[in-house]
Structure formats: C-alpha cells, structure tokens
Chains A and B, each alone.
Chain A
Amino acid sequence: MRAAYPFSAIVGQNEMKLSLLMAAVDPGIGGVMVFGDRGTGKSTAVRALAALLPPLIAVEHCRYHCDPHGEGCPDHPEPAGLPTETVATPVVDLPLGATEDRVVGALDLEHALTRGEKRFEPGLLARAHRGFLYIDEVNLLEDHLVDLLLDVAASGENVVEREGLSVRHPARFVLIGSGNPEEGELRPQLLDRFGLSVEVRTPTVLADRIEVVKRRDAFDRDPQGFVAKWAQADAEVGQRITTARARLGAMTTPDAVLEAGSLLCMSIGADGLRGELTIMRAARAYAALNGAETVSREDVRAVAPMALRHRLRRNPLDEAGSTVRIERAASELFDA
C-alpha cells in the first residue's frame, strides 16, 4: 500500500482539518461533510487522518474489533474478560462501485462453496466499527446505499436480513463524506444527518499554492522520506487528539454558553434540535482541543459555521452564502 500524505503537511484548509480533529475527539458530533472544488485535498485529509488516530483496544481476532468493555458482537456476545489486542483505528474507504453485499456484509461465499455452510462475512460497515467511514463523491453514490449508510450511522447498528441470514452487529462509526456541489446537490435530509459541514476552496494566495505544489511534488518523488519528515508533527497532532479526548469528560459547559448556542440557532432559523445539539458538542470538542476546561461563548462562535451552515432553510434567491448569514447572526448576538 502507498504511504498516505501526512496530515500536518496539508497547507491551509484549517476548517477542514479542524472539523476532522473534532470528529475524532468526539465521534458523537456525528460526521463531517466536506464540500469543495476539485483537487483541494479533501480525500488526502481524510486518508491522512488514519495515521493520527490513537489505537484501539479490541477483543483479540474479532472480526468487528469489538470493544472489550462494550456491547459485544455476534462472535463475542460477552466480550468482557476475553483476551485483547491493540488495533489501529479503522478509516475505511468506501469506493464507488462497491456492491451492497460488501457494504453490509453477506454470506461468505468461499465458506459456502468449500464447506456447504452458511456463514456471515462482515462488510465495510463492520470494518468501520469504532472508526471512520469515508465516502468520496457522496453525490455519485447510489441513493439506496446512501440511505442505508445514514441509517446505520444514526442507529449504530447494522441489521442484515438476506440470503437466509439474520445478523445484527454494532457499527458505530463517524461518517465522512466529500463532494463537489457542481456535480449535483445533496438532498437536505441527507445533509442534515452530517454533524459538521465544511467548505474547502482552492488556495488563492500564491505563496500557499507554491507550497502545496512543492510538498506534493516532494511527496510523489519520495513518499517514505516525506512521511518520515512529517512524522513528528503528525505525532503531535495525534497527541492533541488523545489529550482532548481525556479532557472531554470533565469539560463543563456554563448555562450562559448553552443559551448562546440556542439563541444563535433560533436567530438564523436552523430547523430542528439537531443543530443545537451539534453546536454544543462541537464547541466542547473545540475547547478540549484547545486545552480549555470550560466551554466559552467564543468556542460556540468558532464552530457555528461548521455546525449550522447546512441546516439553514435554503433561500435560492438569497445570494449571500450560508456562512455569511451565520456570521452575521453571530456578530449580532455576540458583539452586542
């Protein structure tokens, strides 16, 4: 396998990088949707994330790498007390052209052919359990697969009823999608299921563009050497995730900050409660990443565009982008 481009070597794109780190700190934020132009490093960033994530403790040789202190899986209904192993946090790529049987899991063909036995072969959803599932070009994925993924991502459980198999297994993962709005819009119902939404653009500052080209060229010529050069920086980012995760439990959120979040959601007319829940979790993760012990109004403000821009009622005649509307509302609320 080719080495992945290091996360810390990505030039700029701070909002995208931040959103991925926040999702890594608190998977409960509920996924990230990355919109952007071609060639802006969307896929690169997600694939680079794998190298940063702290490893997992899982039941030994479990096909679902299930949590020894968790709910168990079909293979290990009672995981407590079983021998464990350390595995890398999965970042699973869902390639375009994947068939449904590989996504949800299906009858193990080989097993059936050689032994004439029915056995469940877990799919990508099982592999992504406790990690990340990445779909590039979400808008090109077939609708029924997208619906299925969102359903599983929301319920944390994959229920397979096919070919005479009846299996349910845990599948808790952070869904990361990327897409190019030029290739068709996403349904609002679908967008709303993602916790955060970020927009990436091609860098316009010449110095940044030069740096992107130089680093990419250096990476292509010597991937191993380039990765080694950035290993230290990547390790520091990984440490930041670990520290922030540990801090998350003790984080306090003052009532005034909760209120600010709710007011902001109301003032821009974001539909439903999902926006409020997301903005609070996101603000907490953001504060934790920055080493704070309490969540502040500034944290709420910092994450508001990411958490809310895809939840606004779209007014097609309003040329002002969602981000501008949110920032306007935030400045009215916070600067008053």
Chain B
Amino acid sequence: MSEAPTPLTGSDAMLGAALFAIDPVGLGGVVVRAGPGGARDAWTAALKRYLGPAAKLGRVPLGIGDDRLLGGLDLSASLAAGRAVIERGVLAINDGGVVILPMAERLEDSTAARIAAVLDAGEVLVERDGLTARLPARLGVVLLDEGIEPEERPPTSLLARCAFRIDLGATRAVELEADAPSAEQVAAGLAGLSGLGPAPDEIVEALCAAAAAFGIASIRAPLMAVRAARAHAALHGRTTVTQEDAVAAGRLVLAPLARTLPAEDNPPPDSPDSVSEEPPPPDSPDSESPEFEPGDAELLLAAVQAALPPGLLEGIVRDNARSARAPRRSGSGEAAKASQRGRPVGSRIGAVRSGDRLNLPETLRAAAPWQALRRAGAGSALIRVRPEDFRVRRFVQKRESTTIFVVDASGSAAFQRLAEAKGAVELLLAKAYVSRARVALIAFRGSTAETLLAPTRSLTRARRSLADLPGGGGTPLALAFDAAVDLALAEKAKDRTPLVVMLTDGRANIARDGSPGRAAAEADALAAATRLGASGVGSAFLDTSPRPAPGGDRFARAMGGVYAPLPYADAARVSGVVDDLRAGRRS
C-alpha cells in the first residue's frame, strides 16, 4: 500500500484522535505526518486529553532493542531474587493503552514487524534470554511520521494496521481546536462503546462496497471502517450505529486510502466543496437485499468522494510510480557502529574492549554453575563473575551490494533497449537471493531522472515498477549521472557497496538546467560523470547505440568505469557484464 493521497487534516484530524481514543485496540493506530512542534504537539496533547489522565501512553524510541521492546531478563531483579525475573518491554507495559513511535518513517522493518505481530495477537510472546512468557499487550499505536519526501514513510506493515492517516503539515495548531470534540464527550463515548450493539448488516455491507468501489484491496480497511463507525456512534451517544456514523467512517478511514474513483457515474471531483455540503437524505435501507444499490452505498460513495480533492487521479498515478519504498534494514546512524552489527553469531569468551557489547545473560549463564563453588571462598557478593565468564556478542556482517541501473528511456534509445534493461534488472534480481544483492533503477527522459525503483530485493516489486516504465523524450544525461551519484552515496552511507550501471547511447541533449542543446548537455554530462568518478563508486557504461561511435567511451573514462559497447545487447549479456564487474574481473 502506498502513501495516502488524501490524509485527514483540520477538524477531521481531531475527530480521528477522538475515535482512536475511544477504541485504540480496534482501530489499531493513527499515522500523523507532520514535522515536530506546532500542530502535531496540539494533536498529541488532544489525544492525551481524550485518553484521560489514567491511560497509559508509552513511547517507543527509534532503534529500540528487542529487550526493551518485547522484554527480557531483568538482571538486577534476577540476581536479587535468585531466579529468573522478567522485565516487561514497552509494549507489554502499555497494555490497554497507546504507544507513540516518533520518527516512524525511519523505523526498521524488523521492528515494525514485531510491533505488528503484537498488535495482531494482543499479547507479547517472549522467548528470550532463557525466559518464556505470554504478556498481554492490547494497545494502539501512533506513528509520528516526519518524512518529507514521498518515499519516506513508515513501514507498510504498520501503515496497514492504522485506521487513520492524518497530515498536519499545512495545519496550524489553532485550526485544530475549532469544533473538536470535548474530553468529556470522548469519555462518555468510551463508556458507551461496550453497550453498543453490532453495526447493522447494511452498514457493514455499504462500507465493504465503498471500499471496493474506491479500489481499496486490503480487507483491513472496511473492518476498521466498521469499527470507526461504532466509535463514532459511541462518541455521539448513540446506542446503534447509524447512517451518519457510516458516512463519517467512510470519510475518515476509506477516503484517505482511495486508489480509484468508483466506476459507475463518475462525477468529476472538481468541485468537492459543493458536494460535501449536505449529503442527500438517506433512502430507507433495504436490509433484505444482498445488493446494495440503494441508499447506503450511494450515500457513502458520495461522502467519500466528497472528501477527495481534485486532481486525485493524477496524484494516484504519481503515487504509484513512487510506491516502491525501499525495504529498510537500518538507518544511516548505524554506520558508526558497523563493527557491532550484522548477524549475531552467538558470543565469544573474552575481555570486553571498548565498542564490544557484553552479552550479559550469556555471561551470567557462564558464571552461574560456579556460584556455589565460588561462594565458598571469601567475600559476600551476591554473585561472582570472573573475567573468564565474560561473553561478548559477536556479529558477522556481510557487505551487501546495490546495483543501480541508470536506464535511458529517451526517444533516442529505442524501446527495445528499455526492454533489455528491464530484462537485465530482472535477471540480476533473480540471482539476488544468493549474492544478497539489491537492485535499484533510475530512468531518465525528458527533463527528469527519476528513481523508479528504490534499492530492493523484491522481485515482485521490481517487476511491477518495471512493467510500466514509459519511454520517449529528450536525453538529460547530466541529471542521470547526478541522480546516480546521489543514490550511490546514500547506499554507501548505509554500508552497502553501490555499483552504477549506465545503459544509454550517450547522446545527451538536455543540459542540467533542463534547456535543450547538444553542446551544453554534453559538457554538463561529462562534468557529472567526472563527479561520479570522483565519488569512487564502481561503474560501467554500456553503450547501447546501434553503431558505437569512436570516442563513445568518453563518459566511461570520466566515470573511471568500464566501457562496453553493446549494440545487440540482450538481457543475459548485460547481466554478464555486471556479474564480471561485481566480481572485479573487469575493473
């Protein structure tokens, strides 16, 4: 699922907070995209107010370890008690409450998956440090997303479990206060929720139909919409879920996820304000009929559609192109401690030097059998740990490589070339499981160079983004080099080895500033190629022109990379060159 094209703002953001406070477990979570301060602080303050003074509100700091997130051995308590004592992690501590995840756009996938598993199960399964426990942890999450670029967003595993998407980027704090529900109203709603009956069938059906009509594939979305409708009914002191609640749920939960407009009678959404004013009066719901032609469904569609801004479809197309979010493993901040990360391979015996991480449970485990013996000696320490007991965590890190394909999609490069490049990328990717390699794709045409595929190992995702790679337009070669350098350096910062492979005929005709003209374009491209060379990144220039001209290797020389004229390149040969390059046979 990609980013919400139309997140909630203003008073809907506050309504979202109120509903979430009423049923945090059912609604899963809220994503709040905004920079720190201002409106976001006002929103979290309101959430705190809604949750009430007694509610638990925890925080999961970025880069949290499993011991703090899930729980582990409480060393001091264990030593004092002489038996293994568990220390609960943040999730279990906040059972029944809410946890906030700051900088969620930088959250690691592995951490997100752990949290997602806990949200699903409603409990933490602890199998760590010699301990086994099942700790209840029914809670909701608030993802504070400070991302700026569209690619910067929280891991999809958590996004999919959040009912509300809020964007406060353009909202001022005072705007939020306007007609926001009061804390008393929310408290009354919370009390009323359990007394509320199930949502009527026709409302469930209408919400499902609306989700389908708006192209929302996830089945979680209508489920969360049903819960939002119940919370909305509770907030308004109702004892049954009504049409009005369903409309609100459609607007709050479904509209932000809409991918398409409903197929039938497609009113252009160019005047949303006029549509959203007053929903037409509800027809009498026809609960007998399994079809949902009348009343509910249409009303819902209208309501959801009204919440969509003009230009949605263009936004969706753009959004689809960018939907390949890079799977992240670790942030760049971790490069500094590279010697202590990677795959843990148990622990070793030995003294602790600076930078090493003492494996305390293992150390204690090593010391434990000897306590009875050592205690027989002098002293009164509770536990005697000797240097020979020390266990230091060991890590093995395999350096991963990222092959960045920079593909010429301009008019001068025939469509066939594009197909070859696609084939080569897929071939390389197919080998990627073994070599642990990632592949990225930058395409350039017209006046832009765009990262179509952020570094990934997923064949599924790569195939999708390759399938609709468009072609045609000018050749902004300089921009392509620039984009390649930026991406390569970003990968380097993540401790991966980048490798840039250019597939182009080298006929630059768009300069860096976007102006056409062969001479300026050529000069800019050479300068950019030199910059790539200076960055020390391994590279190759595959010349795809039908008849490679003399001097075709000028870019390769500037890049300090390999030159290979491949006039009849097929996917296998391209991939062969890259393999050689990676193995260091040609550079």
Binding site for B on A (CB under 8 A): 1-2, 37-40, 43, 93-103, 106-110, 112-118, 121, 123-124, 136-137, 140, 142-144, 162-164, 181-188, 202-203, 206-207, 209-210, 212-214, 216-218, 220-221, 314, 316-317, 319
Query: In residues 112-138 of chain B, which contact A (Cβ within 8 Å)?
Result: 113-114, 117, 120-132, 134
A55–B423 Cα distance when bound, in Å, is: 52
A238–B120 Cα distance when bound, in Å, is: 25
Q: A113-B83, A144-B345 are in contact. Are A183 and B327 (CB under 8 A)?
A: yes
26 contacts between A and B (CB under 8 A): A2-B121, A38-B156, A38-B160, A39-B220, A96-B113, A97-B70, A97-B128, A117-B369, A118-B369, A124-B127, A140-B113, A163-B365, A163-B366, A164-B369, A182-B458, A182-B460, A184-B457, A185-B458, A202-B219, A206-B208, A209-B222, A210-B204, A210-B205, A217-B198, A217-B223, A316-B459
Query: In residues 20-37 of chain B, which contact A (Cβ within 8 Å)?
Result: 26
A19 to nearest B CB, angstroms?
A: 20
Chain B 284-295 near chain A by CB (<8 Å), digits 1 or 0: 000000100000
Residue B432 interfacial (CB < 8 Å): yes
Q: Are B123 and A2 in contact (CB under 8 A)?
A: yes
B53 to nearest A CB, angstroms?
A: 27
Given contacts A97-B70, A124-B127, list 6 more A-B pairs with CB under 8 A: A97-B66, A106-B365, A113-B371, A206-B209, A209-B219, A317-B423
Q: Are A184 and B212 in contact (CB under 8 A)?
A: no
Residues of A contacting B160 with CB < 8 Å? 38-39
Query: In residues 449-502 of chain B, which contact A (Cβ within 8 Å)?
Result: 456-461, 463
Residues of A contacting B546 with CB < 8 Å? none
List of 6 A-B pairs having minimum Cβ-Cβ separation, nearest first? A116-B372, A112-B368, A98-B127, A102-B127, A95-B125, A316-B430
A122 to nearest B CB, angstroms?
A: 10
Q: Are A96 and B117 in contact (CB under 8 A)?
A: yes
Residue B429 interfacial (CB < 8 Å): yes
A114–B113 Cα distance when bound, in Å, is: 36
Q: Are A116 and B127 in contact (CB under 8 A)?
A: no
Binding site for A on B (CB under 8 A): 1, 26, 66, 69-70, 73, 78-79, 82-84, 109-110, 113-114, 117, 120-132, 134, 156-157, 160, 198-199, 201, 204-205, 207-209, 211-212, 217-220, 222-223, 226-227, 290, 327, 343-346, 361, 364-366, 368-373, 383, 423, 426-427, 429-430, 432-434, 456-461, 463, 571
Residues of A contacting B211 with CB < 8 Å? 209
Residues of B contacting A140 with CB < 8 Å? 109-110, 113
Q: A40-B219, A114-B82, A185-B433 are in contact. Are A213 and B130 (CB under 8 A)?
A: no
Residues of B contacting A162 with CB < 8 Å? 346
A44 to nearest B CB, angstroms?
A: 9
A33–B235 Cα distance when bound, in Å, is: 43
Q: A220-B26, A316-B426 are in contact. Are A213 and B208 (CB under 8 A)?
A: yes
Q: A184-B458, A185-B433, A206-B209 are in contact. Are A116 and B365 (CB under 8 A)?
A: no
Tell me which of A39, A113, A218 contacts B78 (CB under 8 A).
Answer: A113
* Chain A binding surface, main DSSP class: mixed
Residues of B contacting A314 with CB < 8 Å? 430
B255 to nearest A CB, angstroms?
A: 18
Q: A97-B69, A124-B127, A143-B343 are in contact. Are A136 and B226 (CB under 8 A)?
A: no
Residues of B contacting A95 with CB < 8 Å? 70, 114, 117, 124-127
Q: Are A109 and B219 in contact (CB under 8 A)?
A: no
Residues of B contacting A202 with CB < 8 Å? 217-219
A35 to nearest B CB, angstroms?
A: 10
Q: Are A99 and B128 in contact (CB under 8 A)?
A: yes
Q: Are B290 and A207 in contact (CB under 8 A)?
A: yes
Q: Are B343 and A144 in contact (CB under 8 A)?
A: yes
A280–B219 Cα distance when bound, in Å, is: 35
| Chain A residue at minimum C-beta to C-beta distance from B69 | A97
| Chain B residue at minimum C-beta to C-beta distance from A318 | B426
Q: A1-B134, A107-B130 are in contact. Are A217 and B227 (CB under 8 A)?
A: yes
B295 to nearest A CB, angstroms?
A: 16
Residues of A contacting B434 with CB < 8 Å? 187
Q: Are A39 and B219 in contact (CB under 8 A)?
A: yes
A317–B420 Cα distance when bound, in Å, is: 11
Residues of A contacting B132 with CB < 8 Å? 102
A207–B209 Cα distance when bound, in Å, is: 9
| Chain B residue at minimum C-beta to C-beta distance from A1 | B134
A107–B84 Cα distance when bound, in Å, is: 12
Residues of A contacting B123 with CB < 8 Å? 1-2
A314–B79 Cα distance when bound, in Å, is: 54
A319–B423 Cα distance when bound, in Å, is: 11
Q: Are A203 and B219 in contact (CB under 8 A)?
A: yes
Q: Are B222 and A213 in contact (CB under 8 A)?
A: yes
A43 to nearest B CB, angstroms?
A: 6
Residues of A contacting B114 with CB < 8 Å? 95-97
Q: Are B204 and A185 in contact (CB under 8 A)?
A: no
Residues of A contacting B290 with CB < 8 Å? 207
Residues of A contacting B127 with CB < 8 Å? 94-95, 97-99, 102-103, 123-124
B407 to nearest A CB, angstroms?
A: 16
| Chain B residue at minimum C-beta to C-beta distance from A142 | B343
A10 to nearest B CB, angstroms?
A: 12
A125 to nearest B CB, angstroms?
A: 11
Residues of A contacting B459 with CB < 8 Å? 181, 185, 316
A36–B52 Cα distance when bound, in Å, is: 39
A322 to nearest B CB, angstroms?
A: 12
| Chain A residue at minimum C-beta to C-beta distance from B120 | A43
Q: A113-B82, A136-B117, A184-B457 are in contact. Are A101 and B371 (CB under 8 A)?
A: no
Q: Are B327 and A106 in contact (CB under 8 A)?
A: no
A186–B459 Cα distance when bound, in Å, is: 10
Residues of A contacting B124 with CB < 8 Å? 95
Q: Are A184 and B365 in contact (CB under 8 A)?
A: no
| Chain B residue at minimum C-beta to C-beta distance from A127 | B132
Q: Are A221 and B372 in contact (CB under 8 A)?
A: no
A280 to nearest B CB, angstroms?
A: 28
Residues of A contacting B82 with CB < 8 Å? 113-114
A94–B124 Cα distance when bound, in Å, is: 11
Q: A95-B117, A96-B117, A98-B128 are in contact. Are A110 and B208 (CB under 8 A)?
A: no
A1–B135 Cα distance when bound, in Å, is: 9
A121 to nearest B CB, angstroms?
A: 6
Residues of B contacting A164 with CB < 8 Å? 369
A109–B126 Cα distance when bound, in Å, is: 16
Residues of B contacting A106 with CB < 8 Å? 130, 365
